Amino acid sequence: MTKYALQRMIQAIPLLFLVTIVTYFIMNLAPGGPLSMYLHNPHVTQSQIAVLAKQLGLNQPWYVRYFKWLWALLHGNWGYSYFSGQPVIQLIGERLPNTLILMVAAFLVSLCFGIPLGIYSATHQYSLFDYTFSFLSFFAWAMPSFFFGLLLQMIFAVKLGWLPVAGMYSEFYPPSLWELLRHLILPTTVLGLGSLAGWSRFMRSGLLEVIRQDYIRTAKAKGLKERSVVLKHALKNALLPIVTIIGMDLPGFFGGAVITEEIFAWPGMGRLFLSALNDRDYPVQMAALLISAALLILGNLLADLAYGLLDPRIQYN
Amino acid sequence: MATANLPPLDTALETDPMQDSGVSSFRKFWRRFSRHRLALVGLGILVFLILVSIFAPLLTPYSPTAPNLAHVLLPPSAAHPLGTDALGRDVLARLMYGGRVSFMVGFFSMIIATSIGVVWGATSGYLGGIWDTLMMRFVDLVMSFPAIFLLLVVLNLTGANASVGLMILYLGLFGWTGLSRIVRSQVLSLRSQEYVEAARAQGASNARILFKHVLPGAMAPVWVSAAFGVAGSMLAEASLDFLGFGLQPQIPSWGNMLDSAESYIVTHPLLILAPGLVITIAVVAINFVGDALRDALDPRSTAGMQRIG
């Protein structure tokens, strides 16, 4: 297992390397390059632009610039924001933890509610709960997350005033864990709802399929309690496809985080990325693209390892 | 092609296993599909929504785009069943015309994504070897980026707001990778089957074997993925509109309607509810159909709608 884990990690390195090339290439497609904002400024002359280009090394061939950029990247020098002048790594350092808090919270909520709800639905097939929950989860999965977010905001924050409208901490109270949790509830619900619905449906159908298998009948025939048959014998096999689904849904979490942060003014990477797009702040865009890809590769790696742990049939080497 | 010279006995080998039972296999499919009553309801809703958006000019006297500043933010009435928006445009008319944009984006981007996914996956699986490795590593690479980040960057590079055609192209270009993996694994398992060997022994060309013999057997997950692809693209387009990097704001689309209604959420909630519910219903309807398709064609697959946000 350790060897398999190490192998998969080593396989991720060339992928990360390619990711940096693609990121660099896309950003170099930008029309006019980083100095285009000066092109229509009457106070900046053509020769000044040429001096700036030389200072920034823009007159070198792209591969020279790429390797210089990569070298600096590996040494923690991620450049400076065109917009605020702050080091990019500092901006990321401020925003990334907030996004991770939101994503981990939503992930845990989807997992902790979605899986048990799916199990309950499966063990109570054709009950009123099963029908209602299945029907609702179809809608939850299909609803655009921003629509759901706006609805929650309107009902629970504006009309009822139970929860804060937006932000991560209150302007009126000192930051505390309690304040953070209050502010987390709505964004977490929005980000987690889709996957909660999707995972519980897959859990339900997966468990129903496993329950029909012969070895489950054997376990029941041995006189084991229904509860232990489901939880011990059936669940472990029914969880396998769920791990794949969770891995497939990871990119959705990133997109969801961008949208959720935008609705609830959550100070995370998603909003940083959106404002960097609006400001044509290419160093920040590049960093956001790189970090999101690196996190996604890491997430897929973890999903693979979890699959390996759950499924003894997978052979390492 | 060599087929014309073959003795009659061998022509049986030329018909692929999916088509040999012709009509009856469609009947079998329809029996399994129509078992899902919700899928039939979904199909009905879709046909209704599509017809309404196609015949929008006959069904409503209002323009979806021309502002009417004398009738701003009217409540629902007989003349305007869902009221008017901040520029005095009839909300119902905008919903109907918006359906054209949403369904067009969903359908045509699915066509692009499915075509690329099928050709890429099939070629990769059929060629095998170094080509397979290279092509699949490329898929890994594209899939390493969260789709929404790539879409936002590319949309932003080509000037913040896209035309309908450009949006279709981008959603198609970034939506094929998952399908290509599925098609590849199907082709890998089919290409060593005996009927494929037989075709090869008859001297059929690679392209003929692939498109005539292997692919038809690999199509079941493609139809399923195509159905879910339409829904995923429609949601993605609406999300991009909402983030301000989608279609040009003057194009009446469900996402743009939601985006422009955000500031009226407290005073005029109907402006949010109407497009939000319509898009949810459309996506649910497509997913009902997709679920039934999966049950009828490819019950073991875990295919589903991919959400980018």
- Give the sign of the dihedral formed by CA A161, CA A163, CA A164, CA A170: positive
Do B281 and B235 contact (CB within 8 A), yes or no? no
**Residue A275 to chain B, least CA–CA distance (Å):** 11
**Residue B272 to chain A, least CA–CA distance (Å):** 8
Residue A245: what pLDDT?
83
> Taking CB atoms and an 8 Å cutoff, what residues of chain B touch A149?
none
CB-based contact A256 B307, cutoff 8 Å: yes
Mean pLDDT of B9-26: 50
Higher pLDDT, A27 or A103: A103
Higher pLDDT, B204 or B279: B279
d(CA B81, CA B88): 13
Mean pLDDT of B272-280: 93
Global ipTM: 0.86
Nearest CB to A139: which of B148, B284, B306? B284
* Model confidence pLDDT, tens digit, residues A303-313: 888 887 777 77
Is residue B36 pLDDT above 80, yes or no? yes
CB-based contact B307 A252, cutoff 8 Å: yes
The model's confidence at residue B283, banded by pLDDT at 50, 70 and 90, is very high
Mean of all residue pLDDT scores within chain B: 85
Is residue B123 pLDDT above 50, yes or no? yes
CB-based contact B308 A153, cutoff 8 Å: no
> Taking CB atoms and an 8 Å cutoff, what residues of chain B touch A142?
231, 235, 280, 283-284, 287, 305
What DSSP character marks residue B211?
A: I
Residue A217: what pLDDT?
83
Q: Please report where in the chains the tokens 């400024």 appear, as a residue.
A: A41
Residue A87: strand pairing partners:
A80
**Residue A223 to chain B, least CA–CA distance (Å):** 30
- Quick count: other Cβ atoms within 10 Å of Cβ B226? 21
- Quick count: other Cβ atoms within 10 Å of Cβ B215? 22
* Model confidence pLDDT, tens digit, residues A105-118: 999 999 999 999 99
Chain A CB within 8 Å of residue B56 CB: no
* Model confidence pLDDT, tens digit, residues A238-294: 888 788 888 878 888 888 899 999 999 999 999 999 999 888 888 899 899 999 999
> Taking CB atoms and an 8 Å cutoff, what residues of chain B touch A18?
137, 141, 144
Q: Which residue of B has its CA nearest to A157?
A: B266
A275-282 long-range contacts (CB < 8 A, ≥24 apart) are A275/A83, A276/A81, A276/A83, A277/B152, A277/B153, A277/B156, A277/B245, A278/B244, A279/A82, A279/A83, A280/A30, A280/A36, A280/A37, A280/A82, A281/A81, A281/A82, A281/A83, A282/A27, A282/A30, A282/A34, A282/A82
The model's confidence at residue B8, banded by pLDDT at 50, 70 and 90, is very low
How buried is residue A225: exposed, middle or buried, by Cβ count under 10 Å (0-12/13-18/19+)?
exposed
Q: Which two tokens stand for residue A64?
A: 């020279």
Pick from A35-49, B96-110, B270-284: least confident: A35-49
The model's confidence at residue A174, banded by pLDDT at 50, 70 and 90, is confident
Chain A CB within 8 Å of residue B157 CB: yes
Residue B159: what pLDDT?
73
Kindly report the CA angle at B274 between B269 and B280, in degrees rounded to 5? 120
> Taking CB atoms and an 8 Å cutoff, what residues of chain B touch A30?
157
Residue A271: what pLDDT?
93
CB-based contact B307 A139, cutoff 8 Å: no
**Residue A215 to chain B, least CA–CA distance (Å):** 19
Q: Which residues contact B207 (CB under 8 A, 6 or more apart)?
A: none
- Quick count: other Cβ atoms within 10 Å of Cβ A189? 19
Nearest CB to A19: which of B144, B276, B284? B144
Residue B17: what pLDDT?
46
Q: Which two tokens stand for residue A65?
A: 């610039």
Is residue B114 pLDDT above 70, yes or no? yes
Do B233 and B305 contact (CB within 8 A), yes or no? no
Residue B162: strand pairing partners:
B247
Residue B12: what pLDDT?
40
* Model confidence pLDDT, tens digit, residues B41-88: 999 999 999 999 999 888 888 888 878 777 777 788 877 788 887 787
Q: Alpha carbon A186 to chain centroid distance?
A: 17
CB-based contact A15 B276, cutoff 8 Å: no
Mean pLDDT of A15-31: 85
Task: Suggest the residue from B153, B254, B259, B308 to mutate for an interface test with chain A (most A CBs closer than 10 A).
Answer: B153
Is residue A295 pLDDT above 60, yes or no? yes
The total number of residues written for chain B in this structure: 309
